[in-house]
Chain A
């Protein structure tokens, strides 16, 4: 069974630009969650999608958005990038059940200059 894939793995952008990150979940998984990980803040929850609907949302500004397609693939978008957006962005897929065991992708390392 193929794991969670994320593209691209590395990205360098400048302030003010926007970026789109992609995540392909494990086959059969309908839930996709996105996290931002930084050394100072740890793993911060962005949002979770289940069957194309945003089911949960963390405390991030509206510049952070996402969507999920009918094949469960998900994208997240960050507009008007700020230096503080530099981080490892992780995507995790799960069955979306009560145990919610998550399987993470390798992440996208975003650097904002």
Chain B
């Protein structure tokens, strides 16, 4: 079983629409990160959230860390074709200090934005 569950698995929308991607767990995380991966490339770090309830904005992308630090969401406003990619959440469980250095990844949300 995955420590981090992402939903939806696939998302296909028109340019200009808004969308939200979710990353959930039953475990508490010290921090959560979001990455975007484009075809043929490695994932690129978008943001790290560390405090429960924290909200970070990156242009049209808004990231939120749940109050209990068990979940996170990524909201995109007015999506553009350039937002197309695989969005991955990843984190460090708070109770796994012995595995410092290991990130746990969700399976990702494949987003396609059509012009």
Binding site for B on A (CB under 8 A): 4, 31, 33, 35, 42-43, 45, 48, 50, 55-56, 90, 92, 94, 96, 98-107
Contact = CB atoms under 8 A, between A and B. Distances in A.
B100 A104 contact: no
B107 interface: yes
Contact of A48 (B40, B90, B102): B102
A103 B45 contact: yes
Contact of A98 (B42, B92, B104): B92
25 contacts: A33-B101, A33-B103, A42-B106, A42-B107, A42-B108, A43-B88, A43-B105, A43-B108, A45-B103, A45-B104, A48-B101, A55-B102, A56-B99, A92-B43, A98-B30, A98-B31, A99-B31, A99-B48, A99-B92, A100-B103, A102-B43, A102-B103, A104-B35, A104-B44, A107-B41
B101 A96 contact: yes
A112 to B, nearest CB: 19
A100 B101 contact: yes
Interface in B30-51: 30-31, 33, 35, 40-45, 48, 50
Interface residues of B, number: 25
Which secondary structure dominates where chain A touches chain B?
A: strand
B44 to A, nearest CB: 7
Nearest to A4: B42
A26 to B, nearest CB: 12
